[in-house]
Amino acid sequence: MGMAEHLARGVKEAAALLAQAEYCIALTGAGVSTESGIPDFRSPGSGLWTRLDPMFFTIESFKADPAQFYRLGQELFAVIKEAEPNDTHIVLGELEKRGLVKAIITQNIDGLHQKGGARRVLEIHGSLESASCIGCGCRVSMEGVIGAVLDGILPPRCSRCGDPLKPDIILFGEAMPPVYQEALLEAEKADCIMVIGSSMQVSPANLLPRYSENLIIINREPTVYDSRARVVLRGNTAPVMRSLLDELELCYGL
């Protein structure tokens, strides 16, 4: 069986699982946004961690030198600010609208699921929509913070107390936000989980797929869950997701 035939067969199997599921959720990672121009973290040659040391993105490093954090991150912030949703985001938004996906749990901070039409998005690693002062806790829109960074103000500071502003994203060494508990409850309820664009190497997000026996994996590279997945679809997520939606419409009228 050729690669195209194997993929087509996998799409049919994934559509059948999704059509039969009573409570399907999606778990997405950085791979869903690469086709929007946002680099992932681990792809050889292009991943963010091949160019930047993850140690600069710990909470300890931020507190020690917030200017360095923004200096290293400003390119990524600029890319995310201009990014538009691709077919993966749009299809997931459509599947949610049709009731086929009940929630989208994402490791991403780019907000593209919401821009793609999704409404129930659990951002377990935080979001670049806002930033908070590490001193007084004052919260502000991230738009102004990114603007300040792009203007060379490093680090942006709180207008109330003068302490640095930190994006409301989860850095290495920080506790998971309360929304992670909600994500756990969603995973426990799910009878089908689609893992899309994630290598499943980051804990504790990589614990969520274990709650369902019906796993659909859509990713360019192998994951630790491939051996127990019902369906593994290897490739870029956007064309696979578009094919999945076409199959659901053609064969199930969904």
Helix, strand, or coil here: 100?
coil
Average pLDDT, the chain: 91
Segments forming the whole domain that contains residue 15? 1-38+85-125+175-254
User: Crossing angle for the helix pair 237-252 and 87-97, nearest 10 degrees?
Assistant: 30
Distance CA 135, CA 234 (A): 45
Nearest to 19 by CA among 106, 105, 95, 104: 95
The answer on 21 and 121 residing in a single domain is yes
The answer on 32 and 4 residing in a single domain is yes
Report the amino acid identity of residue 210: R
pLDDT tens across 180-221, in order? 999 999 999 999 999 999 989 889 999 999 999 999 999 999
- List active site positions: 125
The answer on 113 and 57 residing in a single domain is no
The answer on 244 and 204 residing in a single domain is yes
The answer on 232 and 141 residing in a single domain is no
Distance CA 246, CA 78 (A): 34
- Report the CATH number that the domain containing residue 65 is assigned in CATH: 3.30.1600.10
- Report the CATH number that the domain containing residue 29 is assigned in CATH: 3.40.50.1220
Strand partners, 208: none
pTM of the model: 0.92
The answer on 220 and 197 residing in a single domain is yes
The answer on 138 and 27 residing in a single domain is no
The answer on 179 and 229 residing in a single domain is yes
pLDDT greater than 70 at residue 51: no
**Which of 39-53, 98-112, 162-176, 217-231 is the least confident region?**
39-53
The answer on 180 and 247 residing in a single domain is yes
